Amino acid sequence: MFWKFKRRWSGVMWKNQLFYFSAVIVFFLFVNVFLFQRNFASLEAENNVDPGGTISKLNYDRAEVTKTRQVFQERNTRHNLRYMFENKLRKLLDIMESNLEHTATYGSNENEIPFEKYFSDRLLYCDDILNITDMTYMASGWTKAVYKGTFKGSPVAIKTVDVKGQEVTTCVEAGSSQTACYIKAAKKIVKEIVVLQAIAGENILKVLGFCLPRNADDNLWVAMVTELGEAVDLIKLLQMSWEDRLKVCLDITKIINYMSKTSYGSMSMNDFRRQQFVLINGTLKLSDVDDTGFEDPSCVVKADCDVTFSSANFSQRTRCIHNKCVDYNEKRNVYNAGRHFVTFLLPHGAPPNLQPIIEKVVDGYNDLTMTSQQLLKLMNDIVTSYKTGSYLNRTKSDHDHSKYSVLHESDLPGLYDYRCRLSLSIASCTISVYDEHEAEDVCNNEEQCEGFVMTKHITWSGRRLVHLKNGTGKPAYNADTTLYIRQR
Ligand SMILES: Nc1ncnc2c1ncn2[C@@H]1O[C@H](COP(=O)(O)OP(=O)(O)OP(=O)(O)O)[C@@H](O)[C@H]1O
Ligand SMILES: *[C@@H]1O[C@H](CO)[C@@H](O)[C@H](O)[C@H]1NC(C)=O
Ligand SMILES: *[C@@H]1O[C@H](CO)[C@@H](O)[C@H](O)[C@H]1NC(C)=O
Ligand SMILES: *[C@@H]1O[C@H](CO)[C@@H](O)[C@H](O)[C@H]1NC(C)=O
Ligand SMILES: *[C@@H]1O[C@H](CO)[C@@H](O)[C@H](O)[C@H]1NC(C)=O
Ligand SMILES: *[C@@H]1O[C@H](CO)[C@@H](O)[C@H](O)[C@H]1NC(C)=O
């Protein structure tokens, strides 16, 4: 009897399982068909481009059609990549949410969670984060609190939810539970982890690792570990040498160009401020990406594609191609990068011969007449000219009769320093030069200058640092420096 019952029971079970299997298969088929249809729908749309009415219109439209086709092919690959990316994000959010709500099916060991599948280049895990020493509070924004610490001898930044921050406080005041509010804020950090890793590059803050909560009682809450940077504030920017500001301007131009052509689409930044960037060893990197998207806005009529700027009295129209405002995000980013960085950092203190090309760049940023690609080309031209010394506009006859005597392996440490305009240091007249002839020219133009010490210190662009001196007596031995003495 019992056996029979069991047999009947397993029969029912078996039927149930069959039912579930069929349901799963049907579901997958449905998803596949759905995806196929979506891709197919856009392929269809590509072929459905209206050839236009008149002959002349037809000719004009042919170029448009090619352009449209390119836009669409690009959009298809981007669409697929973005789908994978969103999938990854959703999965991570699910894992975290279910862990926090105690319905975890992943167990308490995070290594059981298939993170490696998603983040193969992750360097740090939760246990490593516990091992970070010298944790000190640094800064906080709306959602996050940022700490610095040391991991295996290297400085790192740790970002976590600021439980006393605006985001969580406002959410709790609005009547949600502490946990729900925490999860909401934590999701922003998770999005940031995924986005930063997805767009990883030279000018993107590097994520070294992260920890997602394993259960609601876990005292290891959401944390992401990145390289440590410095805040980018206005005073710091204005106090930089022109050369270092040139680097910042080059980097922000690289960043907006990079953002305009990620594999997921053209990136938008809804909250473009200097605080979203950090400086790491003189390199500007995009750091805060929780308020970003990867799609240009949709449009029905042309006016939907007007890019307007609340802070300026002008707007520009981008083209509406197949219900997308092409280049909309890029225009906004160019405008913001100009306003927050380039237009006030680049002209001030620039070498006179570079002024004309700098004006072009500033105009391009101001009236949005150039794409980020064109701006980047000009910036690279400026940097090349500065690096190679061609901005000095020298003729061959310029330097046949040097009025300086040279003392090799000589230095004047701490002696005869004076202050000068555009110096890299407050206490001395320290500047970077292309070569000793440029240093001579600078010295010749300074009444106080009696000579200079040429060092082997190289700046980011490969120029040499020199210290100008208002006297030259009693030189000391230094294998790495050369003293040039002005002959009046
Ligand atoms: N890697 C880093 N190294 C050093 N400082 C950093 C780093 N990342 C962020 N900061 C600093 O911490 C501050 C807050 O960080 P972040 O902008 O990520 O937080 P948030 O809560 O998203 O702020 P926001 O209000 O800008 O959205 C930043 O303004 C920045 O100066
Ligand atoms: C953490 O630090 C301890 C002691 O310093 C060390 O024994 C342990 O191996 C470290 N753990 C990891 C994951 O590095
Ligand atoms: C804005 O621009 C328009 C046309 O360019 C001009 O007529 C108007 O006076 C400007 N307004 C302000 C506040 O500058
Ligand atoms: C550079 O020198 C050339 C020839 O000497 C001159 O025509 C040109 O205007 C100079 N350029 C600048 C920016 O001074
Ligand atoms: C050099 O400059 C410093 C600082 O301005 C000044 O104190 C010093 O007297 C000057 N020395 C000579 C030799 O002019
Ligand atoms: C910092 O930048 C300088 C010059 O750009 C470079 O030589 C140096 O290796 C960098 N340091 C690190 C730690 O990346």
Rounded-to-integer distance, Cα 164 and Cα 169, Å: 6
Q: Considering every ligand atom shown, identify the ligand nearest to the alpha carbon of residue 130 and give its number.
A: 2
Domain boundaries of the chain, sorted by first residue = 110-230, 231-391, 404-486
CATH class of 404-486: alpha beta
Task: Locate 363 and state its tokens.
Answer: 């105009």
Nearest CA to ligand 5 atom 3: 418
Where does residue 408 rank: exposed (0-12), middle (13-18), buried (19+ CB within 10 A)? exposed
Q: Within 48-165, where are the H helices? A: 55-100, 115-118, 126-130
Q: Which atom of ligand 2 is nearest to the CA of 130?
A: 1
Q: Confirm whether 231-391 and 404-486 share one CATH topology.
A: no
Cα 279-224-122 angle, rounded to 5 deg: 95
Which of 393, 395, 396 best tests ligand 4's pocket when mutated (most atoms within 8 Å of CB)?
A: 393
pLDDT of residue 213: 65
pLDDT of residue 121: 60
Nearest CA to ligand 5 atom 7: 418
Distance 306 CA to ligand 3 centre (A): 17
121 assigned to active site = no
Task: Specify the fold of 231-391.
Answer: Transferase(Phosphotransferase); domain 1 (1.10.510)
CATH 1.10.510.10 fits 110-230, yes or no: yes
Q: Along the chain (488 residues), what's the average pLDDT of each consecutive run of 10 residues?
A: 41 44 41 36 30 37 58 67 70 65 42 50 71 90 92 92 90 88 86 87 92 61 90 91 96 97 88 93 93 89 85 82 92 94 93 95 93 96 94 74 88 94 89 93 92 96 96 93 93
Distance 239 CA to ligand 6 centre (A): 20
Distance 186 CA to ligand 1 centre (A): 15
Nearest CA to ligand 2 atom 3: 131
pLDDT of residue 294: 87
Nearest CA to ligand 6 atom 9: 281
- Ligand 2 proximity of 130 Cβ (cutoff 6 Å): no
- Ligand 4 proximity of 393 Cβ (cutoff 6 Å): yes
Q: What are phi and psi of 147, to 5 degrees?
A: -115, 160
pLDDT of residue 69: 62
pLDDT of residue 108: 39
Choose the catalytic residue: 121, 127, 271, 480.
271
- Ligand 2 proximity of 111 Cβ (cutoff 6 Å): no
Distance 387 CA to ligand 6 centre (A): 17
pLDDT of residue 15: 43
Cα distances from 75 to residues 42, 71, 294, in angstroms, run 9, 6, 11
pLDDT of residue 481: 96
Nearest CA to ligand 2 atom 13: 128
Cα 284-286-289 angle, rounded to 5 deg: 165
